[in-house]
Amino acid sequence: MSLDYKNDGAFHEKVIEEVLAAYPEKFAKRRRKHLTVAKPVADASETAEDGGTVTECSVKSNIKSLPGVMTIRGCAYAGSKGVVWGPVKDMVHISHGPVGCGQYSWSQRRNYYTGTTGIDTFVTMQFTSDFQERDIVFGGDKKLVKIIDEIDTLFPLAKGVTVQSECPIGLIGDDIEAVAKKKAKEIGKTIVPVRCEGFRGVSQSLGHHIANDTIRDWVLDKKESDYEPTPYDVNIIGDYNIGGDAWASRHLLEQIGLRVIASWSGDTSLAEIERAPKAKLNLIHCYRSMNYICRHMEEKYGVAWMEYNFFGPSQIAASLRKIAKQFGPEIEEKAEQVILANQPLVDKIIAKYRPRLEGKTVMLYVGGLRPRHIVTAYEDLGMKIVGAGYEFAHNDDYQRTGHYVREGTLIYDDVTGYELDAFIQRVRPDLVGSGIKEKYPVQKLGVPFRQMHSWDYSGPYHAYDGFAIFARDMDLAINNPVWGLFDPPWKAKETPVLEAAE
Amino acid sequence: MPQSADRILDHAPLFREPEYTELLARKRENFECPASTADIEAQSEYSKGWEYREKNLAREALVINPAKACQPLGAVFAAAGFEGTLSFVHGSQGCVAYYRSHLARHFKEPASAVSSSMTEDAAVFGGLNNMVDGLANAYSLYDPKMIAVSTTCMAEVIGDDLHAFIETSRQKGSVPQEFDVPFAHTPAFVGSHVDGYDNMVKGVVEHFWEGKERQPNDTINIIPGFDGFCVGNNRELKRILNLMGVKYTMVQDASDQYDTPSDGEFRMYYGGTKLEDVAAAVNAKATLSMQHYCTRKVLDYAADKGHMTASFRYPLGVSATDELLLKIAELTGAAIPEELTLERGRLVDALADSQAYLHGKRFAIFGDPDFVSGVTRFLMECGAEPVHCLATNGTKPWVEDMEALLASSPFGADGKVWQGKDLWHLRSLLFTEPVDFMIGSSYGKYLERDTNTPLIRLAFPIFDRHHHHRFPLWGYQGGLRLVTTILDKIFDKLDADSNEAGKTDISFDLTR
């Protein structure tokens, strides 16, 4: 049910030029390479996954942010501790260095999990080595040894420990790998040293990669497992269970007859990570943050991988069929049954919300996946994506983006605070989806907003159960009466600049 | 299928539906290799006891759930209290994303700041180019009146020299020659956000005051300190000062920056101490701090400049406000107007009306040193008993202060001061020596869940309740808000404990 529309590319080109004019010349030149408008592709033989138009939206990406521009990006530590390792629930993750990084990321990513926190699970706790000046001067390895002992004493049911390096660790020459090896032997548990110091790389992205590599180097193949595989075993990879996303997805996969033997890394246990190479297929949700380990598992264990998309009924159905195809007619049949069984729910949701959302325009700026993945879910509700960009995407993500976004869509990589504000003011979308730092500036403009990292404390948004919530949330954001209260009745409403509307 | 278009279930009800509880049980059983239920129960119980408490308190290296943040957060907050000021944090960029998120989540407001985005090459060669380019971009894009530079730990570890870097940037034309770029070194591995606040405010006043001839006048300066309630508190304080007719300068005031209206405009800069007022503040007669442990360095500096100085410890309630007003009156010669006397009487009236519910209630308090001190004093004034007083970022002098404070009242007899301890320590304390209520930040909700100690949210950060920070806690009016917030929790608890029909509802009283 994809919509057919084009965005006003010429207007977007003009907006890009306006924005660049604010920079010192040297930096305008560099920023220009990160901003574009989606173009039609000459070779129409290439068709998109959902059958829509394929566009070309490549920009320079995954390169250093300019100093002083108010990049929205985070760091490698955020990519490792905050994204990949943090949700692993039965291990203790030490934020190794000063207190801040662990404090600001404490409980902020809504990686839902089950367990008794502080006893057998530890996700919503902040463990830190709280570096002091003496640790910087004399090194923190001895402190780390003591910390691991203290964890072992106070949290005997923890299955292991990861050491999430903050900036100073790599600068002062600590040898956390040596400590990890020694202590792992002593306490008989998995200990993973992660070199995710915040100054490494250009964004969260390198942290994902480093964290993936540590799974390969410090977890896989380290223990014997007596697990008996079945032909229907799959892993969910790169779903962090924000608001329970991975559970909604798991529910769907189980319904079509598959066994999810590991869920990385939302609500995951160390055992699930260890066992993952025994699966038949890796189903990868967030390609950006976990493609590395999928490629490794393919190479080393012959586990095939495929991307899927459970946002919105069009993509859910397409993905279920694609997944089922890997497992033969029996599973394919079940997939068709599940799609059919959910159709009445989908129809009712769309009947309820589409009339309230039809034609509304959306700008997205999120991490490395959602600005493309969630496009069709909006279109299922009759909404149009007019702008999309990523904090830390690479070239292959922008290629994939072309499978989703329409001609004329404004594309912005590593957008700066200035640019995003200007784009929103000029384009005046009906909804912006981005993060907490963007939420309040956007809302002040009178533009409805949803946080699309944390689902704005809602969710899940994956699968059929999640689509209902997604539709409800977009409706409540856009159609709340508060947006009509901004202008005091005693003040004449200023005539808006008309250039933006077309 | 639990989901329906008529009644859409989000995470809270959805995962309690049987489809999901069964799914989660299967996942656990078949795939997670969990610890045994017996082991979990045994460890749960063990973690509540005295033996665990002793092991827990014996920790020397590991910090768990601390109630403190790092210096640059305080610096960014401080900079937000000056007119047209953009925070520029020199070092890794991820840190700035964190400060902005943290402040935005508490205030539900925009929190702007830029980073110099240092990466590996800067780690090797130093961050001079990042400073030069960063100041140029920040100045061009965001049109600030002032850029306040602080540092992340990366820049501190490699030893970047802010003063030299800023001067070089000036020479290279990143900002105009006369443009104000105060700075403060704010290493994350020293002290906490309260020290970052101190250093940044000192950096700003030093920038304007250094080398200036002081021409004393009769104004007073007031530095509010790091305060999640700055929106309500600073406005209340200004109202009081205006009522008294005092000439004053708030040195650092983020009350407007963190409370901008929704009217179609995004105000990146709003309110704050005017730069000319900061400069003129060198001439003040005195500098007062509302939070001693947030302002030790800047007060010393003001004293060096010849100011009389005095500091308070997050004054709350009747007697602490009395002291504040008397000090202001003493310094300025202003009379305390009848209106404030009336307000005082109303607060005393409220405390008298409610004293039966406050008297003898036992409390745990955690937060920044000044906050803990202020709340402790107020509770004793109400006849309540502070039992566990904990500041992860407390210092030895704070302990001495607190011990003297507790010793000053019979209601402090059971009070213990926990300096440098964290909320996992507090968990053990609450299990082994339980109290009736706990006052602190949103982080206390995990303690509330584990120990059933009701949490009263009065300290930064408050992420999971909205708008409390818009109302003052300071002054007599603030005292009303404070006591009402505490009483609401007390009454809610009384009702919750007596509302089971036919069982506990004998005492489900209509009037309390």
In A, which residues are within 8 Å of B192 by CB distance? 99
Residues whose CB falls within 8 Å of the CB of residue B55, separated by 6 or more in sequence, listed in order:
A153, A154
Per CB-CB distance under 8 Å, the chain A contacts of B141 are 22-23, 68-70, 416-418
Cα distances from A60 to residues A68, A75, A128, A392, A479, in angstroms, run 19, 19, 36, 11, 36
Using an 8 Å Cβ cutoff, are B264 and A446 in contact? yes
Q: Do A460 and B11 touch (CB under 8 A)?
A: yes
User: Are the Cβ atoms of B1 and A119 closer than 8 angstroms?
Assistant: no
- Strands B437-440 and A190-194 turn out to be unpaired
CATH value at residue A164? 3.40.50.1980
pLDDT confidence bin for A502, thresholds 50/70/90: very low
**pLDDT score for B130:** 98
A132 and A18 both lie in a single domain = no
Q: Which residues contact B177 (CB under 8 A, 6 or more apart)?
A: B170
Please state, in angstroms and rounded to a whole number, the distance separating the CA atoms of residues B208 and B249. Answer: 14
Look at strands A233-239 and A190-194 and give their pairing: unpaired
A75, A132, A247: residue with CB nearest B189: A132
Q: What is the pLDDT of residue A43?
A: 65
CA distance B57 to B424: 9
Which of B19, B57, B77, B95 to mutate: most A Cβ within 10 Å?
Answer: B95
Residues A303 and A169 occupy one common structural domain? no
Above pLDDT 70, what percent of chain A? Answer: 95
Q: Is the pLDDT of residue A229 over 50?
A: yes
Active site residue B33: no
User: For A7, left (φ over 0), alpha (ψ -120 to 50), or beta?
Assistant: beta
Contacts A456 to B, Cβ<8 Å? none
Q: What is the pTM of this model?
A: 0.97
- Are A39 and A115 within one domain? no
CA distance B126 to chain A (A): 12
Q: For residue B461, is the peptide bond before it cis, meaning its omega torsion is within 30 degrees of 0?
A: yes
Rg from Cα positions in chain B: 25
Least Cα distance to A388 among A38, A117, A8 occurs for A38
Q: Does some domain include residue A374?
A: yes
**A352 CB neighbour count, 10 Å cutoff:** 16
pLDDT of residue A300: 98
Tell me whether strands A55-56 and A39-40 are parallel, antiparallel or unpaired. antiparallel
Compute the nearest-CA separation of B226 from chain A (Å). Answer: 16
Convert A312-340 to b/e letters by CB count within 10 Å (16 or more is b): bbbbbbbbbebbbeebeeebbebbeebbe
A329: in domain: yes
**Nearest CA distance, A295 vs chain B (angstrom):** 23
- State whether A243 and A212 are in the same domain: no
Q: Which amino acid is at A486?
A: F
Which of B109, B113, B262 is nearest residue A486 as measured by Cβ atoms? Answer: B262
With CB atoms and an 8 Å threshold, state whether B137 touches A150. Answer: no
Q: Which of A76, A78, A211, A477 is catalytic?
A: A78
Q: Which two tokens stand for residue B45?
A: 């119980």
Residue A318 and residue A394 in one domain: no
Band of residue A52 on the pLDDT scale cut at 50, 70, 90: low
- HSE of B186 in the Cβ direction (CA atoms, 13 Å)? 38
Sign of the torsion angle spanned by Cα atoms B294, B298, B304, B308: negative
B157 flagged as catalytic = yes
Percent of chain B with pLDDT strictly greater than 90: 100
Quick check: A91 and B33 in contact, CB under 8 A? no
- Least CB–CB distance from A458: residue in B10, B33, B450: B10
Radius of gyration (Cα) for chain A, nearest Å? 23
CB contact under 8 A, B138 and A68: yes
DSSP assigned state of B290: S
Please tell me which of the candidates B23, B95, B187 has its beta carbon nearest to residue A198.
Answer: B95
Mean pLDDT of A396-403: 96
On the CB side of A434, how many CA atoms lie within 13 Å of its CA? 33
Q: Closest partner residue to B88 among A68, A117, A167, by Cβ?
A: A68
pLDDT tens profile A251-271: 999 999 999 999 999 999 999
Taking the CA of residue A4 and the nearest CA in chain B, the distance in Å comes to 26
Residues A266 and A321 in one domain: yes
pLDDT score at A226: 81
Nearest Cβ partner for B63 among A124, A130, A167: A130
Catalytic residue among A93, A195, A208, A285: A208
Q: Alpha helix (H) ranges present in A326-480? A: 329-357, 370-373, 375-380, 395-401, 417-427, 436-444, 463-478
| Residue A495 belongs to a domain | no
**Within a domain: A478:** no
For A400-427, what is the mean pLDDT?
Answer: 97
Tell me which of A218, A246, A274 is where a domain ends: A218
Domain range spanning residue A145?
Answer: 76-218
Q: Note the pLDDT tens digit of each residue in A464-486.
A: 999 999 999 999 999 999 999 99
Q: Which residues of B touch A73 (CB under 8 A)?
A: 93-94, 97
Tens of pLDDT along B430-443? 999 999 999 999 99
* pLDDT at A428 (0 to 100): 98
Last residue of a domain, one of A288, A307, A341: A341
Same domain for A286 and A401? no
CA distance B257 to chain A (A): 12
What is the mean pLDDT of the segment spanning A328-345? 98
The DSSP string of B102-154 is HHHHHHSS----EE----HHHHHH-SHHHHHHHHHHHHHHH--SEEEEEE-HH
**Interchain CB distance below 8 Å, B62 and A97:** no
Report which of B228, B220, B232, B244 is spatially closest to residue B474, judged by C-alpha positions: B232
Tell me the C-alpha distance between B165 and B90, whole Å: 10
Q: Are residues A159 and A197 in the same domain?
A: yes
Whole-angstrom distance, CA of residue B161 vs CA of residue B145: 23
CA atoms of A43 and A66, how far apart (whole Å): 35
Cβ(A108)–Cβ(A177) under 8 Å? no
Chain A residues touching B190 at Cβ < 8 A: 132-133
Pick from A117, A133, A202: CB nearest B189: A133
Q: Do A66 and B133 touch (CB under 8 A)?
A: yes
Angle between helices A9-20 and A25-32 (to 10 degrees): 150
- Which residue do the tokens 């639990």 mark? B2
pLDDT in the model for residue A369: 97
Of B33, B135, B443, the CB nearest to A271: B33
Model confidence at A500: pLDDT above 70 = no
Tell me the C-alpha distance between A417 and B98, whole Å.
15
CA–centroid distance for B392 within its chain: 13
Helix (H, G, I), strand (E, B) or coil at B475: helix
Residue with tokens 């954001």: A477
Under the banding of pLDDT at 50, 70 and 90, the label for residue A224 is confident
Q: Do A243 and B10 touch (CB under 8 A)?
A: yes
Contact A458 B11 (CB under 8 A): yes
Contact A120 B43 (CB under 8 A): yes
Give contacts of A416 with chain B, Cβ < 8 Å: 141
Residue A479 in any domain: the answer is: no
In the predicted model, residues of chain B with pLDDT beneath 50 are none
CA angle A477, A371, B116 (to 5 degrees): 100
User: Would the CB atoms of B62 and A150 count as touching at under 8 Å?
Assistant: yes
Contact A101/B98, CB-based, under 8 Å?
yes
* Total domains, chain A: 3
Of A135, A170, A140, the residue nearest B190 (C-alpha): A135
- A–B interface: beta-carbon pairs under 8 A: 353
- A437·B100 Cβ contact <8 A: yes
Catalytic residue among B76, B89, B132, B153: B153
What does the buried/exposed string (b/e) look like for A32-60 if buried means 16 or more CB atoms within 10 Å of the residue's CB? bebbbbbbebeeeeeebbbebbbbbbbbb
Q: Check residue A501 and give its pLDDT.
A: 37
Which pLDDT belongs to residue A184? 98
CB contact under 8 A, A27 and B133: yes
Q: Name the β-bridge partners of B365.
A: B389, B439
- What pLDDT does residue A459 have? 98
From A423, A439, A457, give the residue that closes a domain.
A457
Could you tell me if residue A476 is inside a domain? no
The answer to whether B264 contacts A170, with C-beta atoms less than 8 Å apart, is no
One domain, residues A268 and A377? no
Looking at B140-224, which runs of residues are DSSP E strands? 146-151, 220-223
- Give residue A496's pLDDT: 53
The amino acid at residue B307 is H
Catalytically annotated residue among B157, B190, B348, B399: B157
Q: What is the overall mean pLDDT for chain A?
A: 95
Distance, CA of A159 to CA of A12 (rounded, Å): 52
Question: How near does any CA of chain B get to the CA of A493, in Å?
Answer: 11
A81 and A209 inside one domain = yes
Q: Are residues A242 and A328 in the same domain?
A: yes
Nearest-CA distance from A300 to chain B in Å?
22
Residue A381 shares a structural domain with residue A322: no
Please say if A286 is a catalytic residue: no
Residues of chain A by 3-state class (helix, strand, coil), percent to 5: 45, 15, 40
Chain A residues touching residue B115 (CB < 8 angstroms): 65, 67-68, 70-71
Q: Is residue A485 part of a domain?
A: no
Nearest chain A residue to B74 by CA: give it.
Answer: A100
Is A262 close to B55, i.e. CB distance below 8 A? no
pLDDT score recorded for residue A392? 98
For residue A480, being part of any structural domain is answered with no
- Cα A468–chain centre separation: 20
